[in-house]
C-alpha cells in the first residue's frame, strides 16, 4: 500500500482515501490482474492508483476537473498510467459506454447512487463486485437498500481509524472520519 503522504493532494478535492481504508477495499474487491475496474468519483486517485497496480484496466471517472487533474498527477507519479483511462464526465453516462466490468467502485455519486448501482450491476460480469464508500449515513442506507432491491446481500463494514500523534507527555489518537463500506457481489451463474 502507498502511504497517504506519498499522494499529491488538492485542497479542492477530497482524498486520498486513507491507507487503511484502501487496504480494506483491496481485500474486499479481491481485484486481480485480469480484471477491469471502474472507479466513479475518483477524487485524487488514491484508489485508482491502488487498483491500477493490481488490475488489467482502470477507468477513473470524475465530473470535477480538479479531481481529474489530481488523479492524472497521481497515476503519473506512481507509474500506473499505462492501464488507466481518465474520463472527465458523469459516471452514469460513462457506464452506458462500458461493458464487461469486474469491479465497480463508487466513491462519489453526485446524488445518483441508486442509478449508478443499478446501471453498474447490469454491466458487471457474473461474480463481479460493487463497492461503495460512504461518509454519510444516508449514502450507506441508500446503498444497502439498492443492493437489497437487486436481491443482493450487502456486506456492511464501518471503519473508524485513529492515528497516533506524538506529544510531549504521550501519544494522542487523532480520529479520521468514520467510513462505511458497502459491497455486494453479482451471483455466478
Say what the pLDDT of residue 56 is: 98
Q: What pLDDT is recorded for position 133?
A: 97
Q: Is the separation of the CB atoms in 178 and 135 below 8 Å?
A: yes
Cα distance between residue 172 and residue 25, in whole Å = 27
For residues 89 and 41, give the distance between their C-alpha atoms in angstroms, rounded to a whole number. Answer: 10
pLDDT confidence of residue 113:
97
What does the pLDDT read at residue 99?
86
- Looking at residue 14, its pLDDT comes to 87
Query: In the chain, count of helices (H) and strands (E)?
Result: 6, 9
Which CATH number is 18-185 given? 3.40.50.150
pLDDT by residue for the chain (189 residues), tens only, comes to 999 999 999 999 988 999 999 999 999 999 999 999 999 999 999 999 999 999 999 999 999 999 999 999 999 999 999 999 999 999 999 999 998 999 999 998 889 999 999 999 999 999 999 999 999 999 999 999 999 999 999 999 999 999 999 999 999 999 988 999 999 999 987
Nearest to 55 by CA among 47, 65, 64, 45: 47
CA–CA gap between residue 133 and residue 119 (Å, rounded): 17
DSSP state of 13: S
- Tell me the C-alpha to C-alpha distance, in Å, between residue 115 and each of 111, 118, 150: 9, 5, 12
Amino acid at each position: 500500500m502507498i502511504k497517504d503522504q506519498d499522494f499529491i493532494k488538492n485542497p479542492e478535492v477530497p482524498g486520498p482515501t486513507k491507507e487503511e481504508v484502501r487496504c480494506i477495499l483491496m481485500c474486499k474487491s479481491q481485484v486481480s490482474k485480469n480484471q477491469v475496474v471502474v472507479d466513479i468519483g475518483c477524487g485524487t486517485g488514491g484508489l485508482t492508483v491502488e487498483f491500477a497496480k493490481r488490475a488489467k484496466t482502470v477507468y477513473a471517472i470524475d465530473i470535477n476537473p480538479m479531481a481529474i487533474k489530481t488523479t492524472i498527477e497521481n497515476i503519473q507519479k506512481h507509474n500506473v498510467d499505462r492501464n488507466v483511462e481518465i474520463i472527465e464526465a458523469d459516471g452514469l453516462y460513462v457506464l452506458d459506454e462500458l461493458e464487461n466490468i469486474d469491479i465497480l467502485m463508487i466513491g462519489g455519486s453526485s446524488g445518483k447512487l441508486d442509478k449508478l448501482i443499478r446501471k453498474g450491476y447490469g454491466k458487471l460480469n457474473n461474480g463481479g463486485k460493487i463497492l461503495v464508500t460512504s461518509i454519510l449515513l444516508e449514502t450507506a442506507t441508500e446503498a444497502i437498500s439498492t443492493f437489497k432491491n437487486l436481491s443482493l446481500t450487502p456486506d456492511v463494514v464501518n471503519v473508524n481509524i485513529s492515528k497516533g500523534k506524538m506529544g510531549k507527555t504521550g501519544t494522542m489518537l487523532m480520529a479520521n472520519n468514520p467510513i462505511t463500506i458497502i459491497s455486494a457481489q453479482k451471483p455466478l451463474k
